[in-house]
Amino acid sequence: YQRRVHGIIATYLMSYMEGYAAFFAIWVINGFFALGMAWVCVVAVATNWIPLSRMGRLMGIVSMAPQLGDVLARLVLSLFMESSWRTVFRIAATIAIGLNLPILLFVKDRPEEHEETNTTTRTPEEKKPFSERLITLLTTPVLWIVCTLSGTLYSIRTLFLLYSVAYLQLRYCVGSPVLDECLNSDESAAAAAQASALYTILGCFSVVIVGELKDRAPKRYRGAVLLLFIVPLMLCLGLFWLFSQHMAYGLSAVMVGAIGFFLFGPYKLLGGALAVDIGGKHLKATACSLMGVFDNSFAVLVLTLKGYVGRNWDLMFFMLFCFSFLALFSATFVLIWDIRNVPLRRALSMAKPPSMAKIVQPTAPTLPTVKSADADSSDESDEEYPALVKKDTSSALQRRASLKHFTHIQ
């Protein structure tokens, strides 16, 4: 909660700053607390309350919080576009205070007693020293591939969050006799901000769908869930690259929404559920923080490239298309890694040596009890495996007959 408070204070201070240096300092502070540390804390606390069997779908719901906040910010704050930008910042910080009060009053770090959550289960791997588990985590190739995948998706998300409004505003004003006035008008800015909310709204549905698919699919196919959304994401970015300057305003808004639908689900799955899968109970925050480092590093890279690209939208979408291709490669690696390693780990965990007691002290064979026709039909074992019971009974009778015949010959 303290990290959120620092972000709110920084937002308030932003509305009083003057000069580039002051803006830059407050923006760095806001990014450090609100962006860098807040989500790691959310993952660490939320996963203490969520059973592992429902990690994907429930973390999907938790992950919708930033998307819902973005939608509300665009819809609510667009009503104050005619006011000064300082007023918009103060209104945003005030709303954030009201939203964070329930967290301060009612949310605890972990449940006190709850047998179904993952806080009470400790695997042999989790009993190892922290340094040993950390080395094991850092030497896992799939961790770095997932971090790369998370960084590429986050870079795409960053550019669309920051520049989708400017792009939609340009498409809104295309054909206007006074293009410059239209681009600088409050009407076009409000219309583009409201249309860009489709990007986040569809992203919320994507998060829920991907979380549900992750929980239902076997663990070895979690990469397939990612590919199911990343492939159409790459196709949409390819269409933007080829036709961004020829799309009508309505089609552009729909395409921006499609990008949000195919992007947000996979990205939120990585930082939420997959961070827990890779890091486990005690290293989930570490795995999530490493993904955050890659996210922000890729964001810095893509924003730097955007500075060189400028207003060349075709080149910007080509750059994002290349990032999506890297994401496709990373998701394919995750799928291949899981198919090759998950069954092997399960087989090794299930392969237990036979007990010596069973070898040294063999027990005499016993005849299974054969149910009569009028026996109680509620016996689940005979109903579930009738062929097995009959086969065992027949074999036992044959062995007994053979034993009698052998005794008679002697």
Enclosing H/E stretch for 363: none
**Residue written as token pair 């990007």:** 199
**Confidence check: pLDDT of 364 > 70:** no
**Residue written as token pair 């203490």:** 48
Q: Determine the Cα angle at 132 with ends 127 and 137, to 5°.
A: 100
> Residues 65-108: pLDDT tens digits?
776 777 777 778 878 777 778 888 888 888 888 877 777 777 77
**Residue written as token pair 């009738």:** 386
- Contact call for residues 17 and 23 (beta carbons, < 8 A): yes
**Confidence check: pLDDT of 354 > 80:** no
pTM value surpassing 0.75: no
- Contact call for residues 200 and 67 (beta carbons, < 8 A): yes
At 222 the pLDDT is: 80
At 161 the pLDDT is: 86
**Residue written as token pair 């002051």:** 22
> Residues 166-186: pLDDT tens digits?
899 999 998 888 888 888 888
Longest alpha-carbon distance in the chain: 115
> Residues 268-291: pLDDT tens digits?
888 777 777 788 777 887 888 888
Which has the higher per-residue pLDDT, 5 or 279? 279
The amino acid that residue 275 corresponds to is: A
Averaging pLDDT over each range in 106-115, 162-171, 191-200, 320-329, which range is the top one? 320-329
Backbone angles phi, psi at 39, to 5 degrees: -70, -35
Interhelix angle 249-269/55-77, rounded to 10 degrees, is: 140
At 316 the pLDDT is: 92
Averaging pLDDT over each range in 182-186, 215-219, 254-258, 391-395, which range is the top one? 254-258
DSSP 294-338: HHHHHHHHHHHHHHHHTT-HHHHHHHHHHHHHHHHHHHHHHHHHH
Q: Among candidates 8, 20, 12, 31, which has minimal Cα distance to 86?
A: 12
183 contacts: CB under 8 Å, gap ≥ 6: 169, 170, 173
Backbone angles phi, psi at 118, to 5 degrees: -80, 10
Which has the higher per-residue pLDDT, 78 or 373? 78
Backbone angles phi, psi at 62, to 5 degrees: -60, -40
Q: Among candidates 400, 195, 236, 391, which has minimal Cα distance to 324?
A: 236
**Confidence check: pLDDT of 373 > 60:** no
355 contacts: CB under 8 Å, gap ≥ 6: none
Which has the higher per-residue pLDDT, 392 or 176? 176
> Residues 10-51: pLDDT tens digits?
777 888 878 888 888 887 877 776 665 666 777 777 777 777
At 262 the pLDDT is: 95
- Contact call for residues 276 and 47 (beta carbons, < 8 A): yes
Backbone angles phi, psi at 74, to 5 degrees: -70, -40
**Confidence check: pLDDT of 330 > 90:** yes
> Residues 199-224: pLDDT tens digits?
888 888 888 888 888 888 887 788 88
- Contact call for residues 319 and 302 (beta carbons, < 8 A): yes
From residue 393, how far is each of 334, 375, 377, 404 by CA, in Å?
48, 17, 19, 17
Averaging pLDDT over each range in 241-250, 320-329, 365-374, which range is the top one? 320-329
**Confidence check: pLDDT of 125 > 70:** no
